């Protein structure tokens, strides 16, 4: 099953994250805005990763207070996991 997600970020430099979850695996992560090198690196590292594992690894990583682009990606993935 394939799902395309468009997530409006909150409290970080990037404005939006788009990605696909295909059979529980994250693909095609693209950040709009944010620190180009960091978001490109995060996108590359997330590519092909298990959605559930990425949530475990990224959720709660701080940058701006208790929030960050990795944290926002984790939240976006988590909100789109099957219940």
For position 25, what pLDDT does the model report?
98
- pLDDT category, 82, cuts 50, 70, 90? confident
What's phi and psi for 44, nearest 5 deg? -65, -40
> What is the rounded average pLDDT of the residues 66-70?
96
On the CB side of 43, how many CA atoms lie within 13 Å of its CA? 19
DSSP letters for 64-76 = BTTB-HHHHHHHH
| Residue 33 token pair | 């805005």
pLDDT in tens, 7-52: 999 999 999 999 999 999 999 999 999 999 999 999 999 999 999 9
Could you tell me which of 68, 78, 77 has the C-alpha nearest to residue 47? 77
* Helix H or strand E encompassing 33: strand 25-33
Looking at the whole model, is its pTM more than 0.85?
A: yes
The first and second tokens of residue 47, run together, are 């590519």
Where residue 83 falls among pLDDT bands split at 50, 70, 90? confident
């Amino acid at each position: 099953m394939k799902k395309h997600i468009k997530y409006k970020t909150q409290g970080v430099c990037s404005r939006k994250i788009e990605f696909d979850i295909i059979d529980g695996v994250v693909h095609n992560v693209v950040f709009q805005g944010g620190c180009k090198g960091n978001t490109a690196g995060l996108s590359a590292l997330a590519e092909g990763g298990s959605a559930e594992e990425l949530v475990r690894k990224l959720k709660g990583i701080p940058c701006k207070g208790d929030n960050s682009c990795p944290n926002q990606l984790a939240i976006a993935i988590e909100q789109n996991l099957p219940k």
